[in-house]
Amino acid sequence: MTPEDRFVEALQRFLPDCAGVWVGPGDDAAVVAPRPGSLAATTDLLVEGIDFLPTEEPERLGRRALAVNLSDLAAVGARPEFFLLSIAFPRQRGDDYALGIVRGAISQAMRFGTCLVGGDLSRAPSVVISVALWGQPAGKPLLRSGARPGDEIWLSGQPGRAAAGLRLAQQVSSGNPSWPSSFSEGASQLLAAYRDPDPRIGLGLWLAAHGTASAAIDVSDGLGMDAGRLARASGVRAVLERDKIPIHPALATFAEIESVDPFEWILSGGDDYELLFTAPPEARPALNEVHPEWEYSVTRVGHIEAGEGAVLRDRTGDREISHLGYDHFEEAR
């Protein structure tokens, strides 16, 4: 038996039973029985030093790798069903490191009834995690391109927390945390938002199943950039109103501690994995109803106009924000 064969045997010991999986990890390909109908599929790479800090725990990395892919399916309104997981890592990390990533990925996937069906392992000079995830749209898939002038813009949760959490994680990682002890609960909340994002599957499924949203995108690279992408795909202008955007109390406090404008993190931060979507005004009552199964707010934050770009509007005027964001392709952490 090769080390890879032994790894797959170790993995199979904690692999949960999964309906619809005819052939799971260990053969040349997986064979599954998906729900009939169309299929939504996505993939995301996480690269050490670019998408995560080298000090990150493996279980958390696995949960995060799944979460960023789950968020993509949430954005198109699809129910996640199956995933493939590949891990390339240096020998010095040890097999337990990779098994930790697998464990974390499975625990995140199980929250949404999603099954690991296969993957690949390789050596590499630094860690790279690749997930491919697919599932079934709960209705007409939500696209970036359907927003129309007159639509209103809605946002889940409170973005910017992950960017603030990253700054905290960097301080922890460098052994130099700068926040007062009175802020420890807030710090935990921001760190959790960065390290362990919660994909908005429930909201995405509800929007697709009810045909509520005209367009949607997940906020992975900053509210500014992702609002700009939705606007460009739809051929419209997105207007976000500054005083409507919800600011988490811990974000406000940490911004004060760091003497920065919290909107810097909200607009440019990235890694939020909130959903930004548009809907006609008639949808307002349904969206304002409380959905206790969602543990996050859904807030009306602006509207769509004819034109192009994305702006943040306040009493002083409009500020173009579609260039603000975190470019995972270009920048390194």
Burial of 125 (0-12, 13-18, 19+ CB in 10 A): exposed
Q: Please answer whether residues 332 and 49 qualify as being in contact, where contact means their C-beta atoms are separated by less than 8 angstroms.
A: yes
Q: Which C-beta is closer to a second copy: that of 73 or that of 191?
A: 73
| Helix or strand holding residue 254 (H, E) | helix 249-258
Q: Which C-beta is closer to a second copy: that of 33 or that of 260?
A: 33
Q: Which C-beta is closer to a second copy: that of 144 or that of 248?
A: 144
| Minimum distance of a second copy from residue 34's CB (angstroms) | 5
| Helix or strand holding residue 193 (H, E) | helix 184-195
Distance, in Å, from the CA atom of 264 to the CA atom of 268, rounded to the nearest integer, reads: 6
Q: What is the DSSP string of 101-146?
A: HHHHHHHHHHTTT-EEEEEEEEE-SS-EEEEEEEEEESSSPP-GGG
Distance, in Å, from the CA atom of 319 to the CA atom of 313, rounded to the nearest integer, reads: 6
| Minimum distance of a second copy from residue 52's CB (angstroms) | 11
Q: Which C-beta is closer to a second copy: that of 120 or that of 320?
A: 120
Q: Which C-beta is closer to a second copy: that of 58 or that of 77?
A: 77
Distance, in Å, from the CA atom of 201 to the CA atom of 19, rounded to the nearest integer, reads: 20
| Minimum distance of a second copy from residue 249's CB (angstroms) | 29
Q: Which C-beta is closer to a second copy: that of 8 or that of 266?
A: 8
Q: Please answer whether residues 215 and 230 qualify as being in contact, where contact means their C-beta atoms are separated by less than 8 angstroms.
A: yes
| Minimum distance of a second copy from residue 256's CB (angstroms) | 30
Q: Which C-beta is closer to a second copy: that of 132 or that of 172?
A: 132
| Minimum distance of a second copy from residue 3's CB (angstroms) | 5
124 half-sphere exposure, CB direction, 13 A CA radius: 14
| Minimum distance of a second copy from residue 178's CB (angstroms) | 28
| Minimum distance of a second copy from residue 191's CB (angstroms) | 23
Q: Strands across the sheet with 317-320, in order?
A: 215-219, 274-279, 152-156, 298-305, 237-241, 310-314, 317-320
Reference 232, options 155, 309, 324; nearest CA is 309
